[in-house]
Chains A and B, each alone.
Chain A
Amino acid sequence: MTISRETIINIVLALLLLAIPYAAIQFGNPFYVTLATRMAILGLAAVGLNIALGFGGLVSFGHAAFFGAGGYVAGILASHSFSAIPLNFGLFAVPGTNQMPIIWLVALLAGGLLAAAIGMISLRTSGVYFIMITLAFAQMTYYFAVSWPAYGGEDGLSILVRNQFPGVNTMVPLNYFLICYAVLMVALLLSALIRDSRFGAALQAARQNEVRVASVGITPFRIRLVAFAISGMITALAGALYADLNRFVSPSMMSWHMSGEFIVLIILGGVGRLYGPVAGAMLFVMFEFLLGGLTERWQFFLGLLLLGVVLFARGGLIGLIAGKPRHD
């Protein structure tokens, strides 16, 4: 069996991302470890979006809602754990927690439920209406967070001590990078499995031709709804990790800038390509850092890059190097 060019690129990207923090420490510049962690987390958020946008053709302009939901799960649970005041749900109360595995599970659940609810309504529309309705829902969650004084409102919520992972000191930047990197790798594996599965076949076929899928007896709406929920879960998990990286959650995680950024990551890296989100996140963070150091107007140059990709390299970075995607 021959290994495709895309697989080689994927392996190189995975190793490159893993190498960045070690090289940073070697060269006495540990700040770069955090950059690599940012790449991994933004990449993870975009891996989530890629399932909806890349595989399913569902251009969600509202994934920041799930990202923020995950972030607030981490922030709220941590704050209750810190203050030792249980979360009061009226009928019953639950204690907070500073354990990452529990926080992740809650974040996955919250992201999945929110995405299912938003998807239930949004997926009845398509095209530009879908873009607008997902944006509208995300902005609703944004303003909800802004006007919720219990958890900081507009000012956001600090996580005083980074949440814990059993057996690992998460305050060591390299350790935290490795946690995020491992989560990213698991998400990529799941994403690849889904893409090649029966579900993935139906999802990708629905993107190419909705009528065809219905004509063989598969209801596109159900397939898309499940895909949208899975997509929201992964992005919410990324949000929880992002909150712990910054030790801070704020409504800005839910703003439309964030949703736009995720789409940009995927377009830069390659829409629908397994490692497209990772390539995009690495490029984006690198750009932000290198150009951001030179000029405050780095986003202008990011815009130029995006323009170049859209005009001359529609398949993004992965498409540029590996050529068109193969469907066996």
Chain B
Amino acid sequence: MTETVLDIRDLCKSFGALKATDHVSLDLRAGEIHALIGPNGAGKSTLIHQIAGTLKPDTGTIDFLGQPIGQLGVAERARLGLGRSFQVSSLASEFSALRNVMLAVQSRQGSSFRFFRRVMGDASLVDPAMAALERVGLKDRADIPAAELSHGERRQLEIAIALALGSRAFLLDEPMAGMGPEGSRQFTGFLDALRTEAPILLIEHDMDAVFALADRISVLVYGRVVASGTVDEIRNDPEVRRAYLGDPQ
């Protein structure tokens, strides 16, 4: 049996009367892409926020690499290797693409309290950052401020940052939103290869990409996992067809 990297047990989160996360349990195993799908407002992003640490769950546990991380802050979880992309890109907008990635490199080296050496002349920062940009296909855009990148490019940049961080698992919230069809196709190929490096918990609305990529799919409706299984199981699950995929009958 393959190793479980991320293990979520019985997670609950309410906003007033709204149960955004309702006893959710799911896991992410080494080498896989686990897709999380569901209609708008199903609580997918809320779940990602709880895993990454920007939201605190009401009850339930989250284990990452065998260690409980429920009480840790965002930065501590990132240092353990939880790399993340945001539904709405979140970047240092004045910084160039390169400097955004360099920030992750310096964090990985554990060295943000250095006051005197110029970062731009520091090959130990620039080279790994450039390599990460090259992998996502943004090498030519390295000098462009994040604010001036297209939506799709910002998603790619967030992935590059997660790569540079040496992530042990990726939480990707709609990484393909804002990409054209050609970009989507290329990026699907990229994610396909990425899973061997670290498993991916993927939220995506592009069903073609989900069915092409996912090893397993969990369907979230009103904060609950209504179905979980392989691509074929989910495709043929009557409840999923009714609730989400839009049963033709």
Contacts and interface: CB of A to CB of B under 8 A. Distances in A.
Interface of A: 193-194, 196-202, 204-205, 208-209, 211-220, 223, 226, 325, 327-328
Contacts of B117: 197-198
A51 to B, nearest CB: 11
Contacts, number: 111
A200 B106 CA distance: 12
A196 B122 CA distance: 11
B93 interface: yes
Contacts of B90: 209, 211-212, 215
Interface string B55-86: 00000000000000000011110110000101
A223 B112 contact: yes
Given A197-B117, A199-B115, A216 B99 contact: no
A55 to B, nearest CB: 12
B111 A198 contact: yes
A70 B165 CA distance: 42
Contact of B107 (A199, A211, A218, A226): A218
A92 B162 CA distance: 55
Nearest to B118: A196
B212 interface: no
Given A193-B115, A211-B74, A327-B95, A201 B52 contact: no
Contacts of B76: 217, 219
B33 to A, nearest CB: 21
25 contacts: A197-B116, A197-B117, A198-B114, A201-B103, A202-B112, A204-B94, A205-B95, A205-B100, A209-B90, A209-B91, A211-B54, A212-B103, A214-B73, A214-B75, A215-B74, A215-B161, A216-B104, A216-B161, A217-B75, A217-B78, A217-B107, A223-B112, A327-B145, A328-B96, A328-B120
Interface of B: 52, 54, 73-76, 78-79, 84, 86, 90-96, 99-100, 102-104, 106-108, 111-120, 125, 143, 145, 161, 165
A327 B147 CA distance: 12
**Most-contacted residue by chain B among A197, A198, A220 (CB, 10 A):** A198
A198 B92 contact: no
B52 A198 contact: no
**Most-contacted residue by chain B among A193, A198, A216, A328 (CB, 10 A):** A216
A69 B145 CA distance: 40
A197 B95 contact: no
B159 to A, nearest CB: 13
- What 4 A-B pairs are tightest by C-beta distance, nearest first? A217-B78, A217-B79, A214-B74, A205-B92
A267 to B, nearest CB: 18
Contacts of A194: 115-116
A327 B117 CA distance: 16
B115 A197 contact: yes
Given A199-B112, A213-B103, A217-B108, 6 more contacts: A197-B119, A209-B91, A211-B86, A212-B100, A213-B75, A216-B103
Contacts of A202: 103, 106, 112
B74 A208 contact: no
Nearest to A230: B115
A168 B236 CA distance: 89
A130 to B, nearest CB: 20
B96 A209 contact: no
B106 A212 contact: no
A204 B116 CA distance: 15
A108 B132 CA distance: 41
B115 A216 contact: no
Contacts of A212: 90-92, 100, 103
A296 B74 CA distance: 54
A217 B102 CA distance: 13
Contact of B92 (A193, A209, A226): A209
A197 B113 CA distance: 9
B95 to A, nearest CB: 5
A209 to B, nearest CB: 5
Contacts of A226: 113
A160 B197 CA distance: 71
Contacts of A200: 115, 119
B118 A197 contact: yes
B106 to A, nearest CB: 5
A209 B113 contact: no
Given A218-B103, A327-B99, A193 B116 contact: yes
Contact of A218 (B95, B100, B112, B114): B112
A94 B15 CA distance: 59
B78 A328 contact: no
A196 B118 CA distance: 5
Contacts of B120: 196, 328
A199 B93 contact: no
**Most-contacted residue by chain B among A196, A201, A215 (CB, 10 A):** A215
Contacts of B86: 211
A205 B103 contact: yes
Contacts of B75: 213-215, 217-220
Given A201-B99, A327-B96, A216 B107 contact: yes
B4 to A, nearest CB: 23
A120 to B, nearest CB: 17
